[in-house]
Structure 1
Amino acid sequence: MKKESHNKPLFESVKLTTISFIYAYRSNILGLIMGATFGFLMSRAGATTFDYHAEMFLFIDMQLMKVIGTAVVIAMIGVFLMKKYHVQAVTTGMEVDFVKKPYQQGLIAGAFLFGIGWAMTASCPGTVPAMLGEGKISAIFTLTGLLLGTMAYGVLQSFIANNGSYADAFKD
């Protein structure tokens, strides 16, 4: 009895594999493309230049503030239009939902710490990956601070949620 082969030609096999890969990872691929585009645009706008950040905080050159203001206005228009036309998410097909978060007590202190970190490092969290992409090695220290700060926030939230005790935090 002759065994039947189910192999497709090489070109057809590569084509099907590529299609299935793109379908399975479409949200990751879309995110990568959008992130690279965002980083490129931030770089072109000067948002990845340490001097522009320092000059903005010293009120010497307001170019970066103009970029941020323009981004805020465009985002406001975009959110308004998405709410009006009930836009669906590209990857999930579900309607984009805008849930207003309640005020939290530590919001003001957190915003203050964020501003201090931004002023000290001359980079905000959104610009750090773009700075690394440009080869600015000093951004590694900012990224490390961001990751440690995020971890500290998680540990503190866990501590507060367990009434100041870690004994209950690790129970199954």
Structure 2
Amino acid sequence: MKSLKFILAGILFGIIMSKSEAISWYRMQEMFRFQSFHMYGLMGTAVVLGSIAVFLIKKFYVNDYTGSPIVIQDKDKGFARYMLGGTIFGLGWALTGACPGPMFVNIGHGYFGMLVVIFGALIGTFLYGVFKNKLPH
């Protein structure tokens, strides 16, 4: 029962992603072709809400689900690595039409071809773990 709130949050996330059309491949295509503001508005809203959430977490010293304090560390400045990582992420997003959140929501909608995308994402994550110590951080 302790996990029920997380399951409900995931269901709510899926509903919001679906109703906002953030899982639509056509909306992604419009965004990457600069034909519509829809996805930019959604992402801008997410950035603003995320910034507010991080601010509140820092201000009120919020704890995680185990009771441990959430610590958000400052990141060092490394423009090149963010550009490389963002480029890889963006290419995967453009090729598949989905970033990590919508991949799972699309499966819930019955687009089982996303299982191939999730498998690729898991392989990529595994390979990152294998080569992490050899990569510039």
TM (norm. structure 2) is: 0.87
Aligned to 1:61: 36
Structure ranking higher on relative contact order (CA contacts 8 Å, 6+ apart): 2
RMSD: 1.8
Q: How does 1:139-150 map to 2 (within 5 A)?
A: 139-150=114-125
Aligned to 1:46: 21
Name the SS for the 1:126 alignment partner: helix
Richer in helix (by share): 2
Deviation >4 Å, runs of 4+: none
Q: Distance in 2 between matches of 1:117 and 1:101?
A: 24
Name the SS for the 2:72 alignment partner: coil
Structure with bigger gyration radius: 1
Shift of 1:103: 4.5
Partner AA of 2:113 in structure 1: S
Q: Distance in 2 between matches of 1:153 and 1:103?
A: 21
Paired-residue identity, %: 33
Q: Distance in 1 between matches of 2:7 and 2:77?
A: 32
Deviations 1:103-139 (CA, angstroms, capped at 9, x unpaired)? 4664321211111110111111111000101111221
TM (norm. structure 1) is: 0.71
Which sections of structure 1, spanning at least 5 residues, go unmatched?
Answer: 1-21, 162-172
